Amino acid sequence: MKHEFWHERWEKQEIGFHLADTNPALAAHWQTIPVDLGERVLVPLCGKSVDILWLLREGYQVVGVELSEVALDAMAESIEETFSLAVDKQKVGDYILYRAAGILLICGDWFAMTSYDTGPIDAVYDRAALIAMPEDLRRQYSEQLRAVAGNAPQLLVTLEYDQSEMAGPPFSVPVDQVESYYGDVMNIDLIADKDCLIDEPKFRERGLSSLRERVVRLTPKV
């Protein structure tokens, strides 16, 4: 997707993907990810996800990457309110960095990011990031994730539906596609699979006849 598409979503607040509450899949399954408290969790394409607040509350450090300054201004405000701390915002090179103890939010293009920008990553939480990418960008997204986070374990929430019934985003990304992106170096375990069309009237209105949410755990092959 062009950057303009996402900037416009945030300017117009057309952000149907944003959840007011912690994603139940994160709360239910994060403990199955081999990462210790205090370690650094990367949240690519983070928007203003309240899942970041959950990870911080649990005791992890968080690195978020997001294109939209509107989103990260809102994220920084929630962090300040929730944890009563000041988030420092500074333009550094091509990025705007938001920093506080244990928190780094990078405003910039994911595809330009390096591991030098993010620092070392111990685990990844991908909700609505891989599935926000059209098919022609998905491999590049996964290669970028591997470049930035190496083989860090990952909790990935994906959706599967008949792509001919609805144009994304979100796009349908079946588990075998996840396997094709990461399976050479990661074990791919399907840890939850639910029919979620009943909870998603807006997708029913967009023409979907079936929608499954799949939670996938990726751990490095030894």
Ligand X SMILES: C[S@@+](CC[C@H](N)C(=O)[O-])C[C@H]1O[C@@H](n2cnc3c(N)ncnc32)[C@H](O)[C@@H]1O
Instruction: Please give the size of the binding site for ligand X, defined by CB under 6 A.
Output: 20
Tell whether 179 is in a known binding site.
Answer: no
Least separation in angstroms between CB 37 and ligand X? 22
* CA–CA gap between residue 160 and residue 125 (Å, rounded): 18
Tell whether 10 is in a known binding site.
Answer: yes
**112-120 contacts at long range (C-beta below 8 A, 24 or more positions apart):** 113/65, 113/144, 113/148, 114/147, 114/148, 115/147, 115/148, 115/149, 115/150, 118/42, 118/63, 118/65, 118/148, 118/149, 119/40, 119/63, 120/40
Return the residue nearest ligand X (CB atom).
47
64 touches 100 (CB < 8 A): no
Q: Of 21-80, which residues contact ligand X (CB under 6 A)? A: 45-47, 49, 65-68, 71
130 binds ligand X (CB under 6 A): no
Least separation in angstroms between CB 87 and ligand X? 18
Least separation in angstroms between CB 186 and ligand X? 20
For ligand X, the closer of residues 16 and 34 by Cβ is 16
* CA–CA gap between residue 43 and residue 129 (Å, rounded): 9
Q: Which of 8, 77, 80, 111 binds ligand X (CB under 6 A)?
A: 111
Assess whether the previous peptide bond of 169 is cis (omega < 30° from 0): yes
For ligand X, the closer of residues 117 and 122 by Cβ is 117
Least separation in angstroms between CB 221 and ligand X? 26
Instruction: Tokens for 32, please give them.
Output: 């199955």
Tell whether 127 is in a known binding site.
Answer: yes
145 binds ligand X (CB under 6 A): no
Q: Which of 30, 60, 98, 110 binds ligand X (CB under 6 A)?
A: 110
208 burial class (0-12, 13-18, 19+ CB within 10 angstroms)? middle
For ligand X, the closer of residues 75 and 152 by Cβ is 75
Cβ neighbour number for residue 79 with a 10 Å cutoff: 24
Count of CA atoms in the C-beta half-sphere (13 A) of 9 = 16
| Binding residue positions for S-adenosyl-L-methionine | 10, 45, 66, 127
Binding stretches for ligand X (CB under 6 A): 6, 17-18, 45-47, 49, 65-68, 71, 109-111, 127-129, 132, 169
* Annotated binding-site ranges: 10, 45, 66, 127
